[in-house]
Amino acid sequence: MHAPIQNSEVAALHESPVLPQIEFSSVTKTYGKVTAVRDLSMTVSRGEFLTILGPSGSGKTTTLMLLAGFEAPTAGDILIAGRSVAAVPSYRRDQGIVFQSYALFPHLTVTRNLEFPLEMRGINTAERTTRVRRMLERVHLSDLGGRMPSQLSGGQQQRVALARALIADPPFLLLDEPLGALDRNLREQMQIEMKSLHKEFGITTVCVTHDQEEALTLSDRIVVMRAGRIEQTDSPEALYDRPATRFVAKFLGEANIFENHNFKIESEAEQPSGTVAMIRPERICIVATDAGKRGDGDLRQFVTGIVDDMIYAGPLRKYHVRVGSSVFIVREHVAARQPIFRPGDGVCLNWLRSDIRFVAT
């Protein structure tokens, strides 16, 4: 066990260029017979935006609660800037928190909500006033300082919550489903704002969500959890393009898994044992059966099938195509002069052999 962290040491350690800012070392958390987090090890670098993504019950919130100090590990250790925080209670940890359960104080104005963390740190009135004014400007809420939370829209409340988490300049920020309560349009707008705030403040951030799009948009790296364990950690692009397992392939976006098909998969790479072939729906081209081969035909594999279903979804058209006993999902962007196929039409599906991926079963 490492020595517990001392407050006076925190600032210097956080400045260290070599240590990961946050490290989980073989952390397990059990509740009675349930193991919520199992032997989890991971690091978060300074300035990184790391998202923990996974289905319900996979241990995401427990991991964040452990990091926040609201729960203690059953085994293993959590290090912040290289030192164990096992013995440091949550209120003595220097961290910004935006949790759904950590709502704005309803009886305090926006300004007083923002002042609160500064007051807790003993910062004098004059400095508090300056910092609150500056922060309200940064999050474009200067006109709303006198309002009560109930007089704000959902998006504005969320912005105040972020501002409150950031105002005391914590070394890292913890977000739990930060945009979960917002409708789709507002969520997209807030994603862009959060991304630019993260860039501006450069603050190390750990975020929990089950919204894939949010994870893909905001994160430098994503940790995919399954049943208390880490299934894969990677950049959003790498996770989507090169999922390691069938679970990740299917959890993050749609995937065609080649199973029970009656043709041989042609790929550039050799298929490792214990894997299945996979291709993303947008990597498959759909053409009429008599359309002939494209210029890059010898790099492609061609199969024929029958359209089962066509779904029009705004900018996208999605087909279900039966090839032997398998059904393939094909997704294409709607474009001018593109042929539209109907259920019952015979079609040719083709894909680049280099777009085939092999994922562990």
Ligand X SMILES: Nc1ncnc2c1ncn2[C@@H]1O[C@H](COP(=O)(O)OP(=O)(O)OP(=O)(O)O)[C@@H](O)[C@H]1O
Binding site for ligand X (CB under 6 A): 31, 34, 36, 54, 56-62, 210
176 forms beta bridges with 208
Name the pairing type of β-strands 34-44 and 83-84. Answer: unpaired
Q: What are the CA-CA distances from residue 301 to residues 265, 269, 289, 355 (Å)?
A: 8, 14, 14, 10
Which has the closest alpha carbon to 98: 195, 15, 45, 172? Answer: 172
Tokens of 254: 């749609």
CA dist., res. 71 & res. 78, Å (int) = 11
* Nearest-approach distance from CB 126 to ligand X, in angstroms: 42
Cα–Cα distance for residue pair 86/8, rounded to 1 Å: 17
How many CA atoms lie less than 13 Å away from 137 in the CB half-sphere?
A: 6
**Residue with smaller CB distance to ligand X, 67 or 132:** 67
Minimum Å distance from CB 100 to ligand X?
10
> Which residue's CB is nearer to ligand X, number 10 or number 36?
36
Per-residue DSSP letter, 109: -
We find the least distance from the C-beta atom of residue 320 to ligand X, in angstroms, to be 29
Q: Closest separation between CB of residue 150 and ligand X, Å?
A: 26
In terms of CB distance, is 139 or 223 closer to ligand X? 223
Cβ 56 to ligand X shortest distance, Å:
3
Residue 54 or 178: the one with the smaller Cβ distance to ligand X is 54
How far is 219 from 179, CA to CA, in rounded Å? Answer: 14
Of the two residues 36 and 244, which places its CB atom closer to ligand X in the complex? 36
